[in-house]
Structure 1
Amino acid sequence: MEELYIDDKIRLYDEDIREPLFDHLEQVYGKIRFFEEKIIGKSRADVIAICCDRIVGVEIKSDVDTYERLKSQVRNYNKFCDFNYIAVGRSHERHVEKHVPKEWGILVVYVEDEEICIMEQRPATLNPKMKQDIQISMMWRPELQRILTKNKLPQYKQKSKKFVQQKLIEKMEWTELKLQMCEELFERDYTLWDEELELYKQTSKRK
C-alpha cells in the first residue's frame, strides 16, 4: 500500500481496497465468487459478485477518485444487479450518500492501527430497478441450454440467444431461474469458454 497522507489520514487507492473488500463480502454472504472489471451496459463494473441467490454489484471510489462517471454507472448497476454497494475511502464518507440511491449499501474503507478496516455505513437493500431481461443477458448460450435441459424445456437450437432468454423468463418462476443462473455463473470457467462455445456451435449445426 502506497501511503498518501492528507489531513493526517492515510488515503487509500483502489488496489488497497479490493482484497479487504472481498474478505468483508465473504463474511457477509458466505459462498461468493467475484468477477472484476466486467462490462455491464455502457459501464465497466469494478466488481460483480455472484452468491447462491443474488447478483451483487460493487463500485469502488477510492480516496483519490471522483464521482464524475458515477451517475451513469449507477444506472447500469441497477439494471443488472439485485443488490449494490459503493465502497469508498474515508474522504467520501460524509457526502457519498448524496450520490447513490437509498437502496445502495455504503461501505467505508479506512486505516486504523496500520490495518485496513471496513465499516458498513448503510446496508444494501433490494434494488427495485433490476431488469430481468437485462440480468439474464449476462448468461452465455451454453449456460442457457443447460438450464433448458435441466428443466425439460425445448432446446430452441435455431433460435436467437435473446429468444431463449425470454422463453426462460416466461416458463420458469424467476426465483428458481435466478438460483440456476447463479449456479451457472458460480461455476463459469473462462478458460474453457472458447472450447465450449465451439462445441456448442458444432452440435447446433448437426441438429
Structure 2
Amino acid sequence: MLYDKDIREPLAFYLEEIYGKNRILEEQVMGQSRADMVMVVHDALYGIEIKSDADSYARLDRQVKDYNLYYDYDLVVVGTRHAAHIKEHVPEWWGIITVEQVGDQVDFYMLREPQSNPQMDWNCKIEILWRPELAHIQELNAMHAYKQKSKRFVADKIVETVPKETLAVQLSEELFERDYTKIWETIQNFRKENGQKLRRRRRRRKTKKQA
C-alpha cells in the first residue's frame, strides 16, 4: 500500500513532466486546513490534496472549501481504492490524478484535467505571501508603502490596486524566489526597517498529516 510519504517525491517529478517549470511548496496553511502541496507556475497556483489508500474522506469536505478559496486550480491525487468514487467528493473543475504502485515504480495517471477554479478569492490567495514579499509587490507597482498598516490591510490594498493578470505573475515570481532558510531573518529585518516590534522565535511543533 502506498502512503502519503511514498507519493510526494515521485508526484513532484510527474508534475514537472506535465506542467514544466514549477516550484512545489508543502503543507501550506489555507483557512482552517493545510494544502498538502502547492504547485507554483508562471501565473497560477495549483492546490494539491493527496488521498492515499491509507487515508479517508473524513476531512475532505472542509478541505475542498478551503482549496476553492485559495488556488487558481485544484488537484486531488488518489490511490486506487478511491479512484472509482473521488468524482463524487470534489467539484467538477478539480483535476484528478490516480496513483498506484507497479513493481518498484509509482505510476500516475491524469484521470481528469483541472479547470480554472471559479471560486478562487484573491483576498485569500494573496495570504500565501510574507509581509516583505507584499512590500516588494508594492514597490514594483509604485504603491504607497503603508508601513504602519497590518499585513491584511496591505494585502487587500494590493488586490484592489494591481491588475489581476499582473498580480498573478508577480505573486508567482515572489514564491519562486522565496528562500525558506532565511524566513526568520527576512521578516525580522523587514520589521526592524519599518519600526515594527520584532517577533520572538517560537519552537515549531511537529504535526502528523491527518486523513
TM-score with structure 1 setting the length: 0.91
Report the counterpart of residue 127 of structure 1 in structure 2: 117
- SS of the residue corresponding to residue 156 of structure 1 reads coil
Distance 2:175 2:111 in 1: 29
Name the larger-Rg structure. Answer: 1
1:6-85 equivalences in 2 (<5 Å)? 11-85=1-75
Distance 2:113 2:84 in 1: 16
2:108 maps to amino acid: I
2:9 maps to amino acid: E
- 12-21 vs 138-147, which moves further: 12-21
Q: CA offset at residue 30 of structure 1?
A: 1.1
- 166-175 vs 97-106, which moves further: 166-175
Report the counterpart of residue 141 of structure 1 in structure 2: 131
Summarize the Cα distance change of 1:201–1:110 in structure 2 as closer, same or farther, 3 Å threshold: same
Instruction: Note the alpha carbon deviations across 1:143-186, whole angstroms, 9 max, x for none.
Output: 01111111111111121211111221121101101110110011
Distance 1:205 1:102 in 2: 47
1:88 and 2:78 equivalent? Answer: yes
How many residues are paired up? Answer: 196
Q: CA offset at residue 115 of structure 1?
A: 2.0
Q: CA offset at residue 112 of structure 1?
A: 2.6
Q: CA offset at residue 87 of structure 1?
A: 0.3
Instruction: Note the alpha carbon deviations across 1:117-136, whole angstroms, 9 max, x for none.
Output: 11111110001111110111
Structure 1: which 5+ runs fail to align? 1-10
1:143 maps to amino acid: E
- SS of the residue corresponding to residue 194 of structure 2 reads helix
Report the counterpart of residue 155 of structure 1 in structure 2: 145
Distance 1:129 1:18 in 2: 26
- 65-74 vs 154-163, which moves further: 154-163
- SS of the residue corresponding to residue 87 of structure 1 reads strand
TM-score with structure 2 setting the length: 0.89
Report the counterpart of residue 192 of structure 2 in structure 1: 202
Instruction: Note the alpha carbon deviations across 1:73-108, whole angstroms, 9 max, x for none.
Output: 101111111101110111111111101110100100
Q: CA offset at residue 113 of structure 1?
A: 4.3
Q: CA offset at residue 137 of structure 1?
A: 1.3
Report the counterpart of residue 7 of structure 1 in structure 2: none
2:41 maps to amino acid: C
Distance 2:14 2:103 in 1: 18
Distance 2:153 2:2 in 1: 45
- 77-86 vs 163-172, which moves further: 163-172
- SS of the residue corresponding to residue 109 of structure 1 reads strand
Distance 1:111 1:197 in 2: 42
Instruction: Note the alpha carbon deviations across 1:23-44, whole angstroms, 9 max, x for none.
Output: 1111121111111122211112
1:176 and 2:166 equivalent? Answer: yes
